[in-house]
Structure 1
Amino acid sequence: MNTNTQTTRLYHSALSPFCRKVRLVLAEKKIEVELVEERYWESPPDLKRRNPAGKLPVLRHRGNMLAESQAIIEYLDEAIPSPALMPSTPLERHEVRRLCAWFDDKFNDEVTVPILTERVWKKITRQGYPDSRVVKDGLRAIKEHIDYLTTLLETRRWLAGNSLSLADFTAAAHFSCLDYISDVDWDRSEVLRDWYATIKSRPAFRSILADQVPGIHPAPHYAELDFG
């Protein structure tokens, strides 16, 4: 492992949307990064030293240790201003932050956590079998989110407005985790499917689409840019 303190290094977990959003922004900014996979559920001893909150992701950039995914991606957008992923006006920036919070809080609580916990993390951590009722609740909730996002995309080119932003990468991070296990009903919304196909086709997505989680194979269409 390279011990150069100037190496950009991301301590992450492959199917974490919070880690993925940072990976996507790093790639969009064309920042080369060394990925270090952490089995965070085993409480690795160095994790709290890097981040007192004991959470991933943690990014080392320019010799600094950075934590909390939203703070990291906003830092990256300020530190590497091109391409800009935050709009120019306060109201537009508010909409980006609102949608980032929507996914990292509401969508995560109602959809990402229950589905991934039952379908993925229980298997990886050997904590028993999936609870089908929890999965059904998550699949029911995602329909409401898809409908809401569809209303946004019917009047906007991108989620927060007419420019690609941190909101799109945050949303794509969550959807990509769920799409890995084929738990997004893309047939429910053509406009949302087209949005995801567009962002999925960006070079920034390449490493995400190459992810392989041991013991859990991706859906057949996962890495197909046209959904197969």
Structure 2
Amino acid sequence: MRILFHLPLSPFARKVRLALAEKRLPFDLRIERVWDRREEFLAVNPAGTVPVLQESNGLSIADSYAICEYLDEAYPDIPLLGRTLGERAEVRRLVAWFDHKFHAEVTRNLVFEKQMKRLLGRGNPDAAAIRAGYANLKPHLEYIGWLAETRAWLAGPQLGLADLAAAAQLSTLDYIGDVDWSISDAAKDWYARVKSRPSFRPLLGDRVTGVTPPPHYEDLDF
């Protein structure tokens, strides 16, 4: 059976979970406590990060973008990277936006500081970083709203990896109650469409010990 090593609040693991589900590929989830630095896991991914996908034939792939590129090449029936060269370039641009810029400016400042830092033994949360995360969220939500108002989906006419990358980051933040959805109605409506998809339901059922999501987290209509 295909196995995905993950952490429930890893937006990158969530992105891969959504991609696998959208492609209707069965898989088992296995939580990997990366702070334990298991030798067997480090042998597969020396970076010591999740997600890591292990295929039934023994092939192991680390890094969420490498995994998603592999899935689109290996299982092309339901494409997530676009159909034309232009669409594929735009999907890649936006995936990089959410994986790098959004994560560095928002998710890392909030989820890492408030949840992961303690688990990794890296001290207390940085109040300045948390303030920056909240401030940075507003322009990102406004940009998502603009994309949602001008296109059928974030990168073009079909739902694709850009939508999954953005929704993965936002769902992680939404779990800890850190998304002010009043900032952009268009972004909120787009997110409601994404989280209403069958692929999203397992994420909405996730629970992390000691952290209870807000009531709207599972509400498909907010």
TM-score (norm 2): 0.95
Specify the alignment match of 1:98 in structure 2: 93
Is the contact made by 2:146 and 2:186 (CA closer than 8 Å) also made in structure 1? no
Question: Following superposition of structure 1 onto structure 2, how do residues 79-118 of structure 1 map, counting pairs within 5 Å?
Answer: 79-118=74-113
Is the contact made by 1:8 and 1:61 (CA closer than 8 Å) also made in structure 2? yes
Q: Note if 1:34 corresponds to 2:28.
A: yes
- Provide the C-alpha distance between the structure 2 equivalents of 1:122 and 1:76, rounded to a whole number of angstroms: 31
Q: 1:65 to 1:92 in 2, by over 3 A?
A: same
Q: Note if 1:141 corresponds to 2:136.
A: yes
Task: Identify which of 17, 41, 44 aligns with 1:23.
Answer: 17
Post-superposition offset of 1:14: 0.8
Q: Note if 1:219 corresponds to 2:217.
A: no
Report how many residues are paired.
221
TM-score (norm 1): 0.92
Post-superposition offset of 1:53: 2.4
Deviates most, 94-103 or 122-131? 122-131
Deviates most, 46-55 or 212-221? 46-55
Structure 1: gaps of 5 or more residues: 1-6
For residues 74-125 of structure 1, give each alpha carbon's deviation from its aligned partner in whole angstroms, at most 9, with x where no partner exists.
2112212222212221111010000000011111111011101222113444
Is the contact made by 1:100 and 1:167 (CA closer than 8 Å) also made in structure 2? yes
- Provide the C-alpha distance between the structure 2 equivalents of 1:175 and 1:26, rounded to a whole number of angstroms: 18
Post-superposition offset of 1:62: 3.7
For residues 181-224 of structure 1, give each alpha carbon's deviation from its aligned partner in whole angstroms, at most 9, with x where no partner exists.
11111111111101100010001011111111111111221111
Q: Note if 1:49 corresponds to 2:14.
A: no
More helix, by proportion? 2
SS in 1 for 2:95: helix
Amino acid at match of 1:41: W
Specify the alignment match of 2:153 in structure 1: 158
Question: Following superposition of structure 1 onto structure 2, how do residues 177-196 of structure 1 map, counting pairs within 5 Å?
Answer: 177-196=172-191
Compute the RMSD of aligned alpha carbons.
1.4
- Provide the C-alpha distance between the structure 2 equivalents of 1:172 and 1:154, rounded to a whole number of angstroms: 16
| Paired-residue identity, % | 50
Structure 2: gaps of 5 or more residues: none
Specify the alignment match of 1:8 in structure 2: 2
Amino acid at match of 2:38: P
Amino acid at match of 1:24: L
- Provide the C-alpha distance between the structure 2 equivalents of 1:43 and 1:36, rounded to a whole number of angstroms: 15
Specify the alignment match of 1:4 in structure 2: none
